[in-house]
C-alpha cells in the first residue's frame, strides 16, 4: 500500500515512512496542483491523503480509480492513528523519513567515517538510505520515534 500526502500533511508523510510505507509528499514549491497530484496517485497506485476536499472533484477520485482519505486537522499522532485504523496498517521496516528511500542495514565498519566519533562503537547496526545516502542509527531520536510508533501500532 502506497500513499501520497498533500502539501499540508508533510508531518504525516514522515511518520508513514517511519512505519515503513512508501509515501510521496507534495513539497511546497513543486507542482502541488490537485490535478498533477491526482495524476501521480493514479499512475503510481497511491492512496491520496488530503487535508481538504479539493481532490473530491477530480475524476479519478470520483470514479474510484484513486483511493482517498480526508485527514482532519488533529495532532500528528491522532492523524497517524486514523490512517492506521482506516487501512489496517501494520508496522513494516522503516523507510527514510526525509526522502522515502529504502534503508539498508549496514555494519559499523561501513559507516565509521560518516558518523560522529564514538557512535560507531556503541551501535551494532546502521541504516544507509538508498535514496539520499544519509546514515541512521537507533539513538535517542529514534527511540522517541519508535516509542510513538509502538503506541500507535501496539508493538
Nearer to Zn ion by Cβ, of 45 and 131: the residue is: 131
Identify which range of 45-53, 58-66, 130-138, 144-152 contacts Zn ion by CB under 5 A: 130-138
For residue 103, state whether it binds Zn ion (rule: CB under 5 A): no
For residue 106, state whether it binds Zn ion (rule: CB under 5 A): no
CB atoms within 10 A of CB 68: 19
Q: How many residues form the binding site for Zn ion (CB under 5 A)?
A: 7
For residue 85, state whether it binds Zn ion (rule: CB under 5 A): no
Burial of residue 20, with CB atoms counted within 10 A of its CB: 0-12 exposed, 13-18 middle, 19 or more buried: middle
For residue 130, state whether it binds Zn ion (rule: CB under 5 A): no
One-character DSSP codes across 18-85: HTT--EEE--BTB---HHHHHHHHHHHTEEEEESSSGGGGSHHHHTTSS-EEEPPS--HHHHHHHHHH
Identify which range of 18-26, 98-106, 107-115, 140-148 contacts Zn ion by CB under 5 A: 98-106
- Residue 155: partners with Cβ closer than 8 Å, 6 or more residues away: 91
Radius of gyration of the chain (CA): 17
Identify which range of 27-35, 56-64, 77-85, 123-131 contacts Zn ion by CB under 5 A: 123-131
Nearer to Zn ion by Cβ, of 26 and 96: the residue is: 96
Q: Which of 69, 76, 92, 132 lies at the binding interface for Zn ion (CB under 5 A)?
A: 132
Identify which range of 44-52, 67-75, 81-89, 100-108 contacts Zn ion by CB under 5 A: 100-108
CA angle, 16 then 151 then 15, to 5°: 15
Give the footprint of Zn ion on this chain (CB under 5 A): 96, 98-99, 101, 129, 131-132
Amino acid at each position: 500500500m502506497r500513499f501520497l500526502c498533500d502539501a499540508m500533511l508533510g508531518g504525516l508523510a514522515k511518520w508513514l515512512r517511519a512505519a515503513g510505507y512508501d509515501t510521496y509528499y507534495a513539497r511546497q514549491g513543486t507542482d502541488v496542483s490537485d490535478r498533477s497530484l491526482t495524476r501521480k496517485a493514479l499512475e503510481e497506485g497511491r492512496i491520496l491523503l488530503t487535508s481538504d476536499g479539493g481532490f473530491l472533484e477530480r475524476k479519478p477520485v470520483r470514479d474510484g480509480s484513486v483511493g482517498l482519505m480526508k485527514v482532519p486537522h488533529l495532532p500528528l499522532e491522532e492523524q497517524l492513528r486514523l490512517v492506521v485504523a482506516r487501512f489496517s496498517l501494520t508496522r513494516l521496516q522503516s523507510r527514510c523519513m526525509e526522502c522515502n528511500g529504502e534503508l539498508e542495514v549496514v555494519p559499523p565498519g561501513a559507516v565509521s567515517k560518516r558518523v560522529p566519533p564514538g557512535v560507531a562503537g556503541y551501535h551494532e547496526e546502521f541504516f544507509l538510505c538508498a535514496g539520499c545516502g544519509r546514515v541512521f542509527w537507533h539513538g535517542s531520536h529514534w527511540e522517541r520515534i519508535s516509542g510513538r510508533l509502538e503506541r500507535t501500532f501496539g508493538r
